[in-house]
């Protein structure tokens, strides 16, 4: 065997199909596009079009609601806080706030702050400074000897709407 005799195994390298290069190529004339019509031309963009029939995405019912004023809280359960305190990832002697929870890797996201939820059990005394807390969570923290300070970031959209409604009713009654 010599270097000039070395070849690939038969079928190891497949030549690409050259479309529209004559009848003998098997992909000549129309180039695999069939005959005529919009799809035979270049520059076709008809995603979801069903020939004038109502498209599927328009036939299906709409579901749900996306609240534009909804708050994005990082939800943290008391059981997980206790787990992180036991693992020495959180210091219970210092105030536990959004920054501390984020640094420990417990509060992901939550551009509007942290909300404390009562799932699990808290045995350690700790002071929480959070943007929201459930009644059960507050009770559980106080039972363990700690405290929860809820930061007031102004009134919610629902409260603002209620005030506007009351003001409008007062104007009409005059």
**In tens digits, what is the pLDDT along the chain, a chain of 174 residues?**
899 999 999 999 999 999 999 999 999 999 999 989 888 888 887 888 888 899 999 999 999 998 888 888 999 999 998 998 888 888 888 888 888 888 888 888 888 889 999 898 888 888 999 988 999 999 999 998 888 888 877 777 778 888 999 999 998 887
pTM: 0.54
pLDDT of residue 150: 87
- Partners of 132 in the β-ladder: 115
74-150 has which CATH code? 3.100.10.10
Residue 147 CB partners (closer than 8 Å, separation 6+): 127, 128, 141
* Confidence at residue 70, expressed as pLDDT on a 0 to 100 scale: 84
d(CA 147, CA 75): 18
Residue 142 tokens read as 């106080």
Q: How far is CA 11 from the centre of its chain?
A: 47
The residues near 99 (Cβ < 8 Å, ≥ 6 apart) are none
Sketch the domain layout of the chain as residue ranges. Answer: 74-150
Name, in order, each residue with C-beta under 8 angstroms of 155's C-beta and a sequence gap of 6 or more: 163
């Amino acid at each position: 065997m010599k270097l000039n005799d070395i070849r690939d195994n038969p079928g190891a390298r497949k030549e690409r199909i050259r479309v529209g290069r004559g009848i003998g190529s098997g992909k000549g004339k129309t180039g695999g596009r069939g005959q005529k019509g919009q799809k035979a031309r270049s520059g076709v963009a008809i995603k979801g079009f069903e020939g004038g029939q109502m498209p599927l995405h328009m036939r299906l019912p709409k579901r749900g609601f996306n609240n534009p004023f909804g708050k994005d809280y990082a939800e943290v359960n008391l059981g997980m806080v206790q787990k992180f305190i036991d693992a020495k990832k959180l210091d219970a002697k210092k105030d536990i706030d959004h920054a501390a929870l984020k640094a420990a890797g417990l509060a992901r996201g939550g551009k509007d702050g942290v909300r404390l939820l009562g799932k699990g059990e808290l045995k350690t005394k700790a002071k929480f400074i959070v943007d929201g807390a459930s009644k059960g969570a507050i009770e559980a923290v106080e039972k363990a000897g700690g405290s929860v300070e809820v930061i007031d970031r102004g009134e919610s959209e629902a409260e603002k709407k209620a005030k506007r409604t009351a003001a409008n009713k007062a104007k009409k009654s005059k």
